[in-house]
């Protein structure tokens, strides 16, 4: 029986994967770094500690990882305040699922950006537990962020459902022992290997219903 639902943020509720890529690539170019498609793929799912270190060590940005993370967050926050890139149906889906289950959020984003996005969307009060991967030892695809979300919700991970979009996110939630509902990101779709691990694959948030979370929930 499902007792709680844990959402990812970027790629599930916000169309931000392209925005993250744009901001990090812009910073790398300004600082004389080397940024290509392989960097974007490598950093998907990493915690802020991990991707800022990657940008310093592998992309060649001379600033310290702490400075890199702070500058990327500053630029993204400014973009969010100008126009929050909500995926169509995101707010409605969260409200719909919150009517039946307590909600958590497990994101690779920085906590400041998570809180800002939820506040701007007007849904922060619907989440009982919010976890950034910067608060756990390892980012996705390790299960740490999902396990911590389940712990804060007071529910065993095996009794949680996760809503994910990415390769590393699906693998992270599955490794935590959760039921995984995948809504593939069209810009950066998960690989077939990860999709095969999902319990259910949907086309959009409009299909995210109580029955999708738990087939036995209806009838």
Q: Which residue of the set 8, 21, 144, 165 is catalytic?
A: 8
Cα 215 to the center of its chain, rounded Å: 24
Active site residue 10: yes
Catalytic residue among 10, 21, 144, 165: 10
Tokens of 31: 């600082």
- Other CB atoms within 10 Å distance of the CB of residue 196: 10
Please answer whether residues 5 and 149 qualify as being in contact, where contact means their C-beta atoms are separated by less than 8 angstroms. no
The angle formed by the CA atoms of residues 75, 166 and 32, to the nearest 5 degrees, is 40
DSSP assigned state of 189: P
Residue 8 is a catalytic residue:
yes
- Distance from C-alpha of 8 to C-alpha of 45, rounded to nearest angstrom: 10
Continuous H helices in the chain: 17-30, 37-43, 48-54, 65-82, 90-98, 111-121, 144-153, 167-175, 192-197, 210-213
Residue 130 near residue 119, CB atoms below 8 Å: no
**Alpha carbon of residue 176 to chain centroid:** 15
- Count, residues in the chain: 219
| Unique residue bearing structure tokens 């036995």 | 216
Task: Enumerate the active-site residues.
Answer: 8, 10
């Amino acid at each position: 029986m499902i007792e709680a639902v844990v959402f990812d943020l970027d790629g599930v509720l916000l169309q931000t994967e392209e925005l993250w890529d744009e901001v990090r690539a812009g910073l790398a170019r300004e600082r004389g770094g080397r940024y290509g498609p392989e960097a974007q793929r490598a950093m998907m799912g990493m915690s802020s500690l991990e991707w800022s270190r990657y940008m310093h060590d592998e992309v060649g940005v001379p600033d310290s990882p702490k400075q890199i993370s702070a500058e990327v967050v500053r630029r993204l926050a400014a973009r969010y305040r100008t126009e929050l890139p909500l995926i169509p149906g995101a707010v409605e889906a969260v409200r719909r699922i919150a009517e039946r289950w307590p909600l958590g959020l497990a994101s690779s984003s920085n906590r400041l950006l998570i809180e800002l996005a939820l506040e701007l969307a007007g849904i922060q009060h619907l989440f009982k537990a919010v976890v950034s991967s910067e608060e756990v030892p390892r980012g996705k695809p390790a299960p740490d962020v999902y396990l911590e979300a389940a712990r804060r919700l007071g529910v065993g991970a095996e009794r949680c459902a996760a809503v994910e979009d990415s390769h590393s996110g699906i693998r992270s939630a599955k490794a935590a022992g959760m039921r995984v509902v995948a809504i593939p990101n069209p810009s950066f779709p998960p690989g077939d290997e990860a999709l095969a691990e999902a319990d259910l694959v949907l086309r959009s948030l409009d299909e995210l219903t109580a029955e999708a979370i738990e087939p036995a929930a209806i009838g």
